[in-house]
C-alpha cells in the first residue's frame, strides 16, 4: 500500500466563491499531515469532500488505495469535521454508541476512549450540558472508538483551554507515534509546527505550499547576533559568504543565510575579526512568519 | 437492516420527546375509544358492540386513521433534528452511506407503525375479551387485516412527512407545510377535480384503505369515489416507494 490518501485536483465552487481549487494531496502511512490556512481558506471543504459529506465539482480521491466512494472505507477512519456534531438529548456514552454502531464495532472501546479524553466522570450526562471543551473531547473520543487506521481532525483544539490543548496535542503525537496516519487541519500555525511531519498551506482555496515541515521551515536559516560594538559586527557580517540578508532589529542583528549555518564556525569567524559576541541564537523560522510571507506574496 | 434499526433505536431510546409523543398517541386513543359518546358521534356504530370481535379491528383502525398526523409529526421532528444538529453529516462521515441514511428513517417509520399498531392490537384484544361479544374464538382474528391496512396507511402518512422533512430540513416549516397539505391543500385541489381523478391522490387514497364502518354496515354501494381495497393498497405502497425514492434523490444530490 503506497498511500493512505491520494487526492487529485479536488475543486469545489459555491457560486462565485472558489472554496477549493485543484487541491492535490498524498499522505504516506505513518505521517502526520497538517492542512494549514486562515479561516475560510478551504480546509473544511477539502476534508468534507474527502470524507464524503461534500460533493466535489471536480477531481478524485482514494483512501487506502481504492476509490473512496464506498462508505465502508470511512468506517476505518476516525474523523472530526468542523464543530462536534452529536445528539444533544443523548448522553456522551450513548452518542459514542451511535458511532460504534455505525462503524459496526462493539462498544468495548468506548470505555477507553472516554478515559483517554478524560470524560469518564461525565459520560452519563446529556451532551447538551457539556462545555465546549467537553464537546470537543467527545468528538475526539468518537474518533478513537474504532482504533482507526487514519485520523482526520479538523481544528481539534478549538474551544479547549490551554491545558486541554496541551493534552490533545500530546494525544495526537502519541497516536502518531503508534504509526497511525493523521490529517490535521488548523489555523494555528504553532499547532501544525509542533505536531506535523508534513504540511499543506491553503489560501482562498489555492494550495500555496506543500511538503515536509522541516523542508518548508528549513529553506533559509536565521541567526541572531549581538555584540558591544554593533557597527563592527555589522560590517563584518556583511562580508560573510552565503549571507542572504542582514537586518538590524533593536539591539540585535538578524542574519539570514541561504544554507544551513554552523554557529560554532560563525562564532569563530567573528572572534577572528576581534568581535566578541554577547548573543548568538539560531532562529528557526516559525511557521507563522513563513505563513505571512507566503500569503502576502500571493496577495 | 438490523444494524440500521439498532442505530435508530439507540438514537431514540432515551429521547424523551419521542416517547412523550407516543404516550400522547396511546393516551388519546384509549380516551377516545373508552368514551361512549365520542364513539357514537364519530362512528355510526353502537358503543355496545364497539369491542365485539371481529369488527373491533375495523373500528379501532378507523379511529386510528384520524390520528396518523401525530406519528407523522414525530418523524418530521426526528429527521429535521438530524439536519439541525448536523448529525446526518456526522453519520455519513462515520461510515453510513447516503442510501442508509434514508433507509434508516424508513425503517424507523416501519418500526413506529409496528409499535403503535401493537399497542392498538393489545388494547383491542383486552377490551374485546372483556366485552366477550363473540361466539367462536376464530372470530377474534377474522378482521385483523384492518390492522395491516392501518400499517400501510400510517406508514404512508409518515413517508409523505419524511419527504417534507428531507426537502425543507427545518422542523417548524416542515410540520406547517405538511399539515397545510394534508388538512387543506389536497382537499382544495380535489374540489375542482372529478372523483375518477381525485381518488388517486395520496391522502384520499390512504383514507380509502379503512372506510367508515358505518357506511359498510349500511351496505352503501360504492360510488366509485374511492378505489377498491386491493388497488388502494397497491397505490399506497407505490406512494411510499415514491417518497423513499424522492428522499434518496434529495440526499444523494446534496452536500450534507
Q: Is the pTM of this model over 0.90?
A: no
The beta-carbon neighbor of B90 closest among A85, A90, A91 is A85
Over its length of 256 residues, how does chain B's per-residue pLDDT go in tens digits? 899 999 999 999 999 999 999 999 999 999 988 886 666 666 666 666 788 888 889 989 999 999 999 999 999 999 999 999 999 999 999 999 999 999 999 999 999 999 999 999 999 999 888 877 667 777 788 888 999 999 999 999 999 999 999 999 999 999 999 999 999 888 888 888 887 788 888 888 898 898 888 766 555 555 666 777 788 899 999 999 999 999 999 999 888 8
The model's pLDDT over B49-106, given as tens digits with 9 standing for 90+, comes to 788 888 889 989 999 999 999 999 999 999 999 999 999 999 999 999 999 999 999 9
The model's pLDDT over A23-71, given as tens digits with 9 standing for 90+, comes to 999 999 989 999 988 888 889 999 999 998 999 999 999 998 877 566 7
Q: Is the CB of A48 less than 8 angstroms away from the CB of B3?
A: no
3-state secondary structure of B188: helix
Mutation test of the interface with chain B: which of A78, A101, A148, choosing the one with the most B Cβ atoms within 10 A? A101
ipTM (interface pTM): 0.88
CB A207, CB A24: distance < 8 Å? yes
Q: Give the cell for residue A261.
A: 549555518
State the smallest CA–CA distance between residue B1 and chain A in angstroms: 12
State the smallest CA–CA distance between residue B192 and chain A in angstroms: 42
Q: Give the cell for residue A24.
A: 492535490
Q: Which residues of chain A have pLDDT under 70?
A: 1, 68-70, 217-221, 284-288, 290-291, 295-299
Query: What confidence score (pLDDT) does residue A299 get?
Result: 45
Element (H, E) at A232: helix A230-237
Q: Is the CB of B7 less than 8 angstroms away from the CB of A101?
A: yes
Q: What stretches of A75-188 show up as alpha helix (H) in DSSP? A: 92-102, 108-116, 132-144, 162-177
A53 touches chain B (CB under 8 A): yes
Q: Which of A76, A41, A72 has the alpha carbon at shortest distance from A298?
A: A41
Cell 461534500 identifies what position?
Answer: A54
- What is the 8-class DSSP label of residue B183? I
A128 touches chain B (CB under 8 A): no
Amino acid at each position: 500500500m503506497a498511500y493512505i490518501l491520494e487526492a487529485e485536483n479536488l475543486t469545489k465552487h459555491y457560486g462565485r466563491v472558489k472554496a477549493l481549487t485543484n487541491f492535490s494531496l498524498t499522505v504516506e502511512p505513518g505521517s502526520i499531515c497538517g492542512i494549514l490556512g486562515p479561516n475560510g481558506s478551504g480546509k473544511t471543504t477539502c476534508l468534507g469532500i474527502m470524507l464524503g459529506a461534500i460533493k466535489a465539482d471536480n477531481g478524485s480521491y482514494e483512501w487506502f488505495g481504492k476509490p473512496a466512494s464506498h462508505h465502508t472505507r470511512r468506517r476505518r477512519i476516525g474523523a472530526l469535521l468542523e464543530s462536534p456534531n452529536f445528539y444533544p438529548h443523548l448522553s456522551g456514552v450513548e452518542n459514542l454508541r451511535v458511532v460504534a454502531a455505525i462503524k459496526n464495532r462493539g462498544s468495548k472501546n468506548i470505555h477507553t476512549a472516554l478515559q483517554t479524553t478524560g470524560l469518564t466522570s461525565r459520560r452519563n450526562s446529556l451532551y447538551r450540558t457539556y462545555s465546549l471543551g467537553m464537546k470537543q473531547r467527545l468528538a475526539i473520543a468518537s474518533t478513537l472508538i474504532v482504533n482507526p487506521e487514519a485520523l482526520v481532525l479538523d481544528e481539534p483544539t478549538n474551544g479547549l483551554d490551554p491545558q486541554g490543548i496541551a493534552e490533545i496535542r500530546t494525544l495526537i503525537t502519541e497516536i502518531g507515534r503508534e504509526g497511525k496516519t493523521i490529517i490535521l487541519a488548523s489555523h494555528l500555525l504553532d499547532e501544525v509546527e509542533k505536531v506535523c511531519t508534513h504540511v499543506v498551506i491553503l489560501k482562498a482555496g489555492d494550495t500555496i505550499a506543500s511538503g515536509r515541515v522541516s523542508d518548508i521551515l528549513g529553506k533559509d536559516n536565521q541567526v541572531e547576533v549581538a555584540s558591544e560594538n554593533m557597527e563592527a559586527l555589522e560590517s563584518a557580517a556583511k562580508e560573510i559568504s552565503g549571507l542572504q540578508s542582514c537586518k538590524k532589529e533593536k539591539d540585535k542583528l538578524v542574519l539570514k543565510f541561504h544554507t544551513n549555518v554552523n554557529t560554532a564556525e560563525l562564532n569563530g569567524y567573528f572572534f577572528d575579526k576581534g568581535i566578541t559576541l554577547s548573543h548568538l541564537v539560531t532562529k528557526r523560522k516559525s511557521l507563522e512568519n513563513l505563513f505571512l510571507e507566503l500569503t502576502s506574496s500571493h496577495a | 437492516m438490523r444494524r440500521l434499526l439498532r442505530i435508530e433505536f439507540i438514537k431514540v431510546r432515551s429521547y424523551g420527546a419521542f416517547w412523550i409523543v407516543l404516550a400522547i398517541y396511546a393516551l388519546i386513543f384509549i380516551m377516545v375509544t373508552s368514551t361512549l359518546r365520542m364513539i357514537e358521534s364519530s362512528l355510526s356504530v353502537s358503543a355496545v358492540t364497539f369491542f365485539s370481535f371481529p369488527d373491533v379491528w375495523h373500528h379501532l383502525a378507523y379511529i386510528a386513521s384520524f390520528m396518523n398526523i401525530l406519528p407523522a409529526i414525530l418523524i418530521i421532528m426526528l429527521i429535521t433534528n438530524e439536519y439541525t444538529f448536523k448529525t446526518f453529516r456526522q453519520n455519513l462521515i462515520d461510515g453510513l452511506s447516503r442510501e442508509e441514511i434514508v433507509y434508516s428513517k424508513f425503517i424507523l417509520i416501519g418500526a413506529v407503525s409496528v409499535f403503535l399498531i401493537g399497542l392498538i392490537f393489545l388494547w383491542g384484544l383486552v377490551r374485546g375479551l372483556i366485552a366477550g361479544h363473540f361466539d367462536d374464538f376464530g372470530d377474534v382474528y377474522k378482521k385483523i387485516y384492518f390492522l395491516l391496512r392501518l400499517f400501510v396507511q400510517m406508514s404512508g402518512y409518515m413517508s409523505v412527512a419524511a419527504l417534507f422533512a428531507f426537502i425543507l430540513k427545518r422542523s417548524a416549516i416542515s410540520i406547517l407545510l405538511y399539515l397545510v397539505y394534508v388538512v387543506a391543500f389536497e382537499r382544495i385541489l380535489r374540489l375542482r377535480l372529478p372523483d375518477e381523478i381525485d381518488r388517486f391522490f395520496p391522502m384520499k387514497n390512504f383514507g380509502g384503505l379503512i372506510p367508515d364502518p358505518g357506511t359498510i354496515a349500511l351496505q352503501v354501494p360504492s360510488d366509485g369515489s374511492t378505489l377498491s381495497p386491493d388497488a388502494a393498497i397497491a397505490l399506497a405502497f407505490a406512494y411510499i416507494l415514491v417518497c423513499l425514492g424522492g428522499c434518496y434523490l434529495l440526499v444523494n444530490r446534496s452536500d450534507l
